[in-house]
Each structure stands twice: as C-alpha cells, then as structure tokens.
A and B are shown apart, each in its own frame.
Chain A
Amino acid sequence: MSITKSFDLFFSILLIFVHRSLKIIVFLKNVFNSFQRKINITSDLDNYLKLPHHVVFVINCHDNVLSIDEIASLVNWSIQLGIENISLYDSEGLLVNYLSDIEKSISNKLDLDRQLKFRCSQQNGSLDSNIIFHCEYNSSKLRIISLLNQKFIMAMLLKEIVKKRLSEDKGKITVDEFDQTLLSKLDLPDPDLSVLCSETPCLFGLLPWNIRLTEIIHLPVFGKLVEKDFLSVISRYSNCEQRFGK
C-alpha cells in the first residue's frame, strides 16, 4: 500500500472517529440542556419581553422527530400564548396528506366540541402552487403552507407586473412595491420566528422573500416534547435584538 493511500485511510478513520465523538458530545449536551430547561424555564408570560407576531414551524418529515400529536401541541401552546399567526411548513407537502389528523389532534388539544376545519385558498386564480390551508381560532390564524412554492409565485407576479408595465407604466419595480403586491396576493405576513423542528439546521425552501429578518431557532427535541421545550424557544426569541443594519 502506498504512503498516500495509508494517509487517506488514516484520515478517513480519523474523520469517522471525530463524527462519532461529536454525536456523543451533542447527545450529552442535549441531556444537560434538557435538565436545565426543566429548572430554568418558567411558564410566566411576564418573563417574555416580546412575542412573535408570526411563527412558522419548519417540520422535517424525514427526521420523524415529531408526531402529529406533538405538532398539534406546538400549535396549541402558540395559541395559548396569544400568537396571532401560526404556520406549519414542510418542503414536500407531506403535512397536507395528514391534514385531517392534524385537524383532529389540534381540536382535541383545544378541547373543542366541533372539529377545526382548514379551508383551502388559492388567492391567485388557477395557480396550483399557491395553496394555503387556513383556519381561525380565537385571535390566532393557523396556516399550513407546505404546498406554497413562493419562487414560482414571485415569477407569476413578475409576469403580471411586466404585462402592466408594457401597457401603462414604464417605471422601475421597487422592493416596497413588490413586497406589497406579494402581501396582498398571499395575505402572509413576514415570519418573526421560524422554529426548526429537527436537528438539521436548514430552512428547506421556506418563504425566501419573507425570511429577511426571521429569527431561526431550533426546537430542542430530546425525549418527549414538553411545553418548556417550546417556551425555551420563545424565551430565546424574546432576547433577540434586531438592529436593522445600524
């Protein structure tokens, strides 16, 4: 075996060793943090300086970290906190396949006599990639935005704007104008907080236009999901400071 091959083999084994060790360190850190959360996090609302106006839960269906029941719990806790806009997202549209289970589970958590029903809306005529499922409960608006392909919608909007520009106005498209047009089409405010519901630190294609100032925080999933896990995310969000470039 040549020296180069021996070196390659040595470094491959070293890399595997490093990754295994990293896995163990992460596991131990999760155990420690989980205990710490149970002690430090309180359910007292006064401890949270600010609440998000719009929270999106980014579900990674391949991780199998959360059950439908736990997703419903997240929605329920968000409603109890009084968050106005609560959205669920996954990049493959799988949540939509479990829509009736989600409805049932959320209704059970909220102790409702009549089951919640998500309505399907296509604000932009015949666009099939512009589907948002939504329903209201008290002052909260719940949405499932898994089938929303925002880049596709932005391209469709550009078509409409260019058509108008050809016949009427020759001026430049501005950021504010496009932002307003998109908002009026989708009725979807910018999320203040996106909660990654798996270990994977990725947004999986979530709303590219709207995530400019969105805080991206992991839900610490270790063992059974409890309310303090969710509140630790809100607590972290509450301490985030926005500087807007200044």
Chain B
Amino acid sequence: MDGNRRYAKKNHLARSTGHLHGFDTLSKILGWCKALDVKEITIFAFSFENFKRSQEEVDDLMEISREKFDLMIKEIDKINEHGICVRFWGELELLPDDIQERFTFIMSATRDNKRAYLNVCFAYSSRCEIVGAMNKIKDEVVNTKLKISDINENLITDYLYSAGSQPPDLLIRTSGVVRLSDFLLWQSSFTINAFVDVLWPEFSFWDLIGCLLNYQRYEAQVNQARRTYLSKKILPEKSVTKKLPCQVNN
C-alpha cells in the first residue's frame, strides 16, 4: 500500500485523506480478489519502520485504522458468512492497547474460517518476523520442547507468522518502487514480483488484471525453478560438493 502521500500531494489533499483513499482502494481490491477467487491475500498496511514518521502522521494513521477496523467489526457476521479468516502479523504489542483489542477481537471471531485468508501486516518487518521465529525456537529448546538437532530451515518456516500458509505466488508493489522493503523476505524466494508505477490509491481493476496476466506468463517457469531448487536441496550434502569443478583452488 505505497503511494498514499504522493497521491495526496498530487491531488492537493491532506495527507490523512491520502491514507483514507488508500484504505478505500484496499476494500475495492479485496472485493476484486474475492470475485477472482484468490484464496489468500497479505497486505502490508503499516511497516515497523513507519513508526519513524512524524508523531502527527502516526497518530492519523492509527485513527484511520480505528475507524476502518471498527467497520470490519461491524461487518464481522458478513466476514464469517464468506468464511474469511483475518490475521494480523507484526509487532502488535507496540500498538496502542485499543487497537490491539480490536485486532484480538477480529482474529478470535474469524479464526475458524477456512475458505479464504486475509493477512494484515501491521507494525511488521520481515527481519523482525524471522528473528521472532528464532526466539520462539530458542525458548522451546530452553523449555526442552525441542532439541537443538531439530533446528533447520523448515522449522524456522513453521515458526513464522505465515506458518501453514503457501508462499505467495504474486507480490504487487505500487508507486514505482522496485524493492521489497522488508516484506515477506523469507516467503517470497520464488514469488513473481509485479512492480507497477501507479500510486496505491489509483490502483484500478485493470492494473490488477495486468499483474495477473504477468503472473500467468511466468508462473510455469518459476514453479519449475522452485521445484528444481527444492530437489537440489534434499540431495545429500556430499553430492553438491561433487559438482564442484576440480580446478577450483581451496
């Protein structure tokens, strides 16, 4: 959800109005994805790094969040009717108590739904998520629930917020920025990236279709590469060494 402030500046609007329009775009996109039968959506609503913004802007964003998540709570029966499980990923303890309470309510009210998943990354950073998973594993070892020999990359995957989810197939970044900015770094190793120039509040249905066509173009090739990569990894380590050419100097 990148480009709200630039959108506000471009259209001579208040910064908070830009963020508000951004949230409106989000609800439109969720509707389109539902119509297209997308099973899982993860949105990057608020980065851990966004706390560095001015206090005024952070407060504005929190106020808009309160308003929007209250709307979500009002429509919780509708969400349950559609079978959508809503989850919040991030350092939630850093958020104001009343927002944490809203998140807890929504998560517990929708946790048994299995038809579709909406993951909202809030106060999120991928490196914090990875290190958080590592700390959970460390605590399990200290409490003798796990052994040190159990630790491997799959175990780390199982302790991330995204445990149990499929890795994302398509990652869309708006507003002409061409980096991941600490979003799903571990999960998006074999994800198709769509970097689009349009600002988030201006993201239209046709932009989404463009991203999906791009995904369809490369999906088979990326899946093949992912399978080859995974099959390479399960080979015994020695066989990887044997591939090294003999002229290499140690």
Contact = CB atoms under 8 A, between A and B. Distances in A.
A213 B186 contact: no
Interface residues on B, range: 35 or more
A100 B179 contact: no
Contacts, number: 175
Contacts of A199: 218
B163 interface: no
A206 B179 CA distance: 13
A96 B248 CA distance: 10
Interface residues of A, number: 63
Interface in B183-242: 185-186, 188-195, 213-214, 216-218, 221-222, 224-225, 228-229, 232-233, 237-238, 240-241
Nearest to A170: B142
Contacts of A133: 248
A201 B218 CA distance: 8
B107 interface: no
Contact of B213 (A18, A120, A128): A18
Contact of A216 (B47, B193, B245, B249): B193
B118 interface: no
Interface string A85-126: 000000111001101100000000000000001111000000
Nearest to B246: A100
Nearest to A201: B193
Q: Is the interface of B mostly helix, strand, loop or mixed?
A: helix
A212 B237 CA distance: 28
Given A173-B131, A245-B49, A62 B221 contact: yes
Interface string A179-215: 1000000000000000000011111111011011111
Given A62-B224, A245-B49, A92 B237 contact: no
Interface string B53-64: 100000000000
Contact of A129 (B137, B182, B190, B237): B237
Interface string B121-140: 00000111011001101100
B11 interface: no
Given A162-B151, A245-B49, A119 B228 contact: no
A205 B224 CA distance: 13
| Residue of B127, B135, B225 with most chain A CB atoms under a 10 A cut-off | B225
A209 B49 contact: no
Contacts of B194: 201
B94 interface: no
A219 to B, nearest CB: 13
B213 A119 contact: no
A99 B240 contact: no
Nearest to A159: B151
Contact of B218 (A18, A97, A166, A202): A202
B222 A200 contact: yes
Contacts of A5: none
A173 B224 contact: no
B89 interface: no
Given A173-B135, A174-B131, A179-B127, 18 more contacts: A60-B225, A62-B225, A92-B228, A96-B243, A99-B247, A100-B245, A120-B249, A152-B153, A155-B155, A159-B151, A162-B137, A201-B218, A202-B192, A208-B189, A209-B185, A212-B127, A213-B181, A217-B178
6 contacts: A62-B224, A172-B135, A175-B131, A178-B134, A208-B189, A245-B50
